Amino acid sequence: MTQAIEWITYQGRSLYDQDGNVIGTIEEFYIDRADGEPVWALVYTDPASMRLSFVPLREARLQGTDDDLQVSVNSDEVRDAPSIGRRGATALPAL
C-alpha cells in the first residue's frame, strides 16, 4: 500500500473501488500487529444510515491526483459484505 506511517493521513478521505467509483469515507484502519501495515479499512458506505463496512486493503494503491486510496474490490462486493450498523450490530448478507 503506502509507507505504514502514512496510513493515518487517509482517515476521512474517500476510498475508491477497482473501477474508480467511490465506496465511501474512511473512518479507521485495522493494522496487522506483525508488520504494522493496515489490512482493513472501516468505511462509511452510507452516511445517512451510518453503515460502516469492512474493506480489505490488499493491493491498495493511490488513485488519481488527489492521492486517495483505491482497492482491488468493487462496490457491489462491499455492499454485500458484513457491516456494522448504528448500534454496533453486524448486518449479515442474506443467504
Q: How would you write the pLDDT of the chain (95 residues) with one tens digit per residue?
A: 545 557 888 999 999 999 999 999 999 999 889 988 889 999 998 767 688 999 999 889 888 777 789 999 999 899 888 788 755 555 544 43
- Say if residue 45 is exposed, middle or buried (CB neighbours under 10 Å; 0-12, 13-18, 19+): buried
Say what the pLDDT of residue 79 is: 85
pTM of model > 0.75: yes
Do residues 11 and 63 make contact, with C-beta atoms less than 8 angstroms apart? no
Amino acid letter for position 51? R
For residue 15, what are the contacts with CB-CB under 8 A and spacing of at least 6?
A: 22, 23, 24, 25, 26, 41, 43, 55, 68, 69, 70, 71
